[in-house]
Chain A
Amino acid sequence: MGKFHLGSLLAAGAILAVGFSTQANAEGKHGMYANGEIRSGYTYLTPQSKAIQNDDFQNPGMIWVDDGATLYEAVDGKAGKSCKACHGKAEVAMKGVATTYPKYDEDTKKIKNIEAQVNRCRTKHMQAKPWKYESGQLLAMTVFIRHQSRGMPMNVSVDGPAVPFFQKGEKFYKQRRGALDMACSNCHIDNAGKNARANLLSQGQTNGFPTYRLKWQKVGSTHRRFRGCNKQVRATPYKYASDEYMNLELYVAWRGRGLPVETPAVRN
């Protein structure tokens, strides 16, 4: 009886496995770069651009990883500390961290992203000056930290105290704005996979950010990308590190749940 039971369990497992593999095959051409219908920006790239991301020695974003590694071990501020002095080896301490950011912050009762946490550490624990948003240093450190989670699935928390912020982020995403009267969702939900003139619209996922963007010819943050999108619909962009963009970053990170961290990705 016990044996029979085990057998039927195995059979059920096999059926489940078949079910999953069918689904996986439907999306299978995107491999690890998709989670069901959720698709990384990687899947929208041309083969040539994918090749740049695939090879760490072709990917210019790796320069920022190298820079971040140097900064992680550099002593700065009045406390005479480096990141490493408190956290230890980044490969261990920072592994998986990026998958949970942005997150609710008890101290400020707001959402914080990795950039905000880095500057918190600098001012509070290192007694150093905060880095300017979108500066080479803050980008390099953010890229370096996120890079330690490369390949791990995005898994931000949107429960508990994060709920109202998540809701604000979602509202922002679906709110029409600017002279073109367009919401984020008009491009990235309603028309993802279609062309807007010569541009192939993606789902607007952030799992590869900060990303090396061919258009920028350098690495840039999610907030820079948000500003670009807002300007594109002729709306006034919000400031870097604004509450609006922190909430939006949380919502967009949730949209990309299960996608692997790709930082530093390569995008058009």
Chain B
Amino acid sequence: MIHKTLETRQVGRRELMAMFGAGVVAAMGVGMTPRDAMADAKSVTDAMMKVVGDNKPATGKIKLDLPQIAENGNTVPIAVEVDSPMSDADHVKALHLWADKNPRPEVASFRFSPASGKAKVSTRVRLSKTQNIVAVAEMSDGKFYMAKSEIKVTIGGCGG
């Protein structure tokens, strides 16, 4: 029984790693070694595993609104919205954000309730380089959804 649980977890991890495949390839393109990229992907994967457990997140439902190119990595405006009626029977319980190439991948987590009315958040984040923003939503029926979007970060701001 214990053995089976462990195995399921490993499959889950492999599947998640597969989802980050595109990010790894992109990172190689901009001069990252595959090993660094793998390490980064793994740390987001670890963070995500803690949230989703044995579940495999589906794509869809989440709209990530962020600029294609950040004017300055210190302050990147971002909005995330999860499509949901936000009723007692069917609502978004939580939403998590990660940035896969930051020194630490965690960005923020949000808790909603039917009293929120709408599962949408706008904020501003720090991004150290070009990378993926990953969002995972946890629904009241126990399902998970995820979305991923790449954002280019140039080292901006002339002068001191």
A interface list, Cβ under 8 A from B: 45-49, 51-52, 187, 196, 198-199, 201, 213-215, 217, 224-225, 227-229, 231-232, 268
Count of A-B residue pairs with CB < 8 Å: 54
Is B103 an interface position by the 8 A CB rule? no
The interface stretch among B72-80, B89-97, B138-146 is B72-80
Which 10 A-B residue pairings sit nearest by Cβ, starting from the closest? Answer: A228-B159, A215-B157, A228-B160, A214-B72, A198-B154, A46-B71, A214-B75, A232-B159, A199-B158, A48-B67
- On B, residues with C-beta under 8 Å from A are 67, 69, 71-72, 74-77, 124, 154-160
**Known pairs A45-B71, A48-B71 / 5 extra A-B pairs, C-beta < 8 Å:** A49-B71, A49-B72, A52-B75, A214-B156, A232-B159
Interface of A (DSSP majority class): helix
| A214→B74 contact, CB < 8 A | yes
Is the beta-carbon distance between A213 and B67 smaller than 8 angstroms? no
Which residues from chain A contact B67 at a C-beta distance below 8 Å? 46-48
Q: Which residues on B sit within 8 Å (CB–CB) of A47?
A: 67
B159 touches A268 (CB 8 A): no
- Residues B72 and A268 in contact, CB atoms below 8 Å apart: yes
| Contact across chains for A268 and B77 when beta carbons are under 8 A apart | no
Contact yes or no, A48 B160, CB < 8 A? no
- B37–chain A nearest beta-carbon distance, Å: 23
A187, A201, A215, A217: the one contacting B156 at CB < 8 Å is A215
What is the CA–CA distance of A227 and B155 in the complex, to the nearest angstrom? Answer: 20
